[in-house]
Structure 1
């Protein structure tokens, strides 16, 4: 049974986002002292009455490129929760600069949100970025003694809602492959368990696979959405060539389009199908399935109820 320890200041990056804000509320509920790193203080998570979270400081940085501000935000911090940056051409450089800023500030522990199947040859191009970041973390840990824990999250349940087109069709070259998607809340619960474990050393050097309890095909995902919304949502398996052609008119940069398409081809390749019990082991309850998430968090998929 994990016991909580609120000892030491925790910095939460991306604290205004879906994952960071959820972790901030959980840490506050456990009495942890934390510093929320945000671009805009007005967007920092607050209590329902507008008050700041208890035992909570705010630090402002203009993204991970703002190295001086990040170093200042980490001053006096024992543990950093590093939410991966938005997809960009220099994403790995942003991650490595932030890791280096944490080390320069004297941070002892860092928990990083990576991605399922991170590898140098991963089908999903952005998973390669995560692998390169993990390699930098390994190098830094060896040189400096930084204690690192990696959370390899699968695709989020919420992200799958974005796969549904305006015509109620999920289109992509995923074939009959499966994806073990996970909720932001389950990831936040895992992060809380790791960060506030009374015996944190048990997580040093660990890599956790944070997945949902089932791996679904996109046809099954579409059926699940259809049942929840009452609409005829379906899945159409594109070829890879069709996928690139259908996304060519968005005006996105090539690396973005490659990331979009390869998220589907990674599913087809079976690289997102692994189901782990790490949520259950660390949190003490099973991960939420896609159907459970739809039942429990209707506000998260209100955009599907057109």
Structure 2
């Protein structure tokens, strides 16, 4: 059997994929920065520790030696994330990895409104240019994040207007990733992963109010208000632009459009916001 590798295996997506594969009797190699963060239930799996992460190309190359199919989870948001992605792709190529399953982003394009979506498009191109076989999982925003988007007053704020987004559950993304790692039929496929419905943020707030039993709301900020309300974080300009452009991408309709890709891969309907909220209560 092919050796599967999972980067970001202590994160929300990678750990779910590892659990799914282990439950089916597979032994993926977990590539992590810190072995102490690996879930107890996964300690029996092979673990390769790369403290420097994607930036440490030589160590990562060694950790990937012998891996045939790799889940490449996109790196943490940073000003130099593209440098890290480029190093990870080179390490995978030079280690002999044959196919990469990459967690990209819905509507990724060189000129998409969401600024970080441009990085995802560029990373897809790096993988292609490296001569690696690939499967791209173009995830919409995560349904799991909706409560976290609200402030302490439980109000979501941003210049999203009446735009809709077909957000997807992390559980579904991980399940699709596991399926893609196991089956060569997914080579060369790009999947736009969405939930079963496209919601406005006002509708999402109403659903959270109903399920969680406390009031949530949505305020449609102007661009100026959006930047001003986030200025106190002291974040660099690239980060502020990423935060705000999440909402302007929704307003522009870039995250709208329900697809059937989750159901096509998994044979079941994707989870809804209500499903995710009820499971997390």
Please say if 1:274 is aligned against 2:257.
Answer: yes
Aligned length: 280
CA distance in 2, matches of 1:203, 1:26: 17
Paired position in structure 1 for 2:48: 59
1:25 aligns with 2:19: yes
Counterpart-to-counterpart distance in 2, 1:39 and 1:107: 20
Deviations 1:15-67 (A, max 9, x none): 000000000000111122211011110111221xxx724xx201111211011
In structure 2, the residue matched to 1:284 is 267
Contact 2:31 2:47 in 1 (8 A): yes
Instruction: Give the match for residue 174 of structure 1.
Output: 160
Deviation (angstroms), 1:159: 1.9
TM-superposition CA deviations, 1:122-161 (whole Å, max 9, x none): 00000011011111112112xxxx2111000000012222
Moved over 4 A (4+): none
| Secondary structure of the corresponding residue to residue 15 of structure 2 | helix
C-alpha RMSD over aligned residues:
1.0
* 3-state SS of paired residue (2:16): helix
Residue 109 of structure 2 corresponds to residue 115 of structure 1:
no
Native 8 Å contact 1:74 1:107 kept in 2: yes
Partner of 1:157: 143
- The CA deviation at 1:260 is 0.3
Q: CA deviation at 1:203?
A: 1.8
What secondary structure does 1:216 align onto? coil
Q: How does 1:294-305 map to 2 (within 5 A)?
A: 294-298=277-281
1:84–1:114: 8 Å Cα contact kept in structure 2?
Answer: yes
TM alignment of 1:68-87, pairs within 5 A:
68-87=58-77
Partner Cα separation in structure 1 for residue 238 and residue 155 of structure 2: 24
How far apart, in 1, do the equivalents of 2:4 and 2:118 lie?
A: 28
The TM-score normalised by the length of structure 1 is 0.90
- Aligned partners of 2:85, 2:145: CA distance in 1, in Å? 22
SS in 1 for 2:157: strand
Are the equivalent residues in 1 in contact too, given 2:144–2:276 (CA < 8 A)?
no
**Distance (whole Å) between structure 1 residues aligned to residue 171 and residue 39 of structure 2:** 15
Query: Aligned residue for 1:36?
Result: 30
Matched, 1:9 2:7: no
Q: By how many angstroms is 1:83 displaced?
A: 0.4
**What residue number does 1:258 align with?**
241
Deviates more, 1:159-168 or 1:126-135: 159-168
Structure 1 unaligned regions, length at least 5: 1-6, 299-306
Q: What TM-score results when the alignment is normalised by the length of structure 2?
A: 0.97
2:118 corresponds, among 101, 108, 128, to 128
CA distance in structure 2 between the aligned counterparts of 1:84 and 1:161, rounded to whole angstroms: 22
Deviation, 1:206, is 1.2
CA contact (8 A) 1:8 1:33 kept: no
Q: CA deviation at 1:274?
A: 1.6
| 8 Å contact kept, 1:15–1:45 | no
- Residues 212, 277 of structure 2: 8 Å contact kept: no
Counterpart in the other structure of 1:249: 232
Task: Provide the C-alpha distance between the structure 2 equivalents of 1:89 and 1:40, rounded to a whole number of angstroms.
Answer: 22
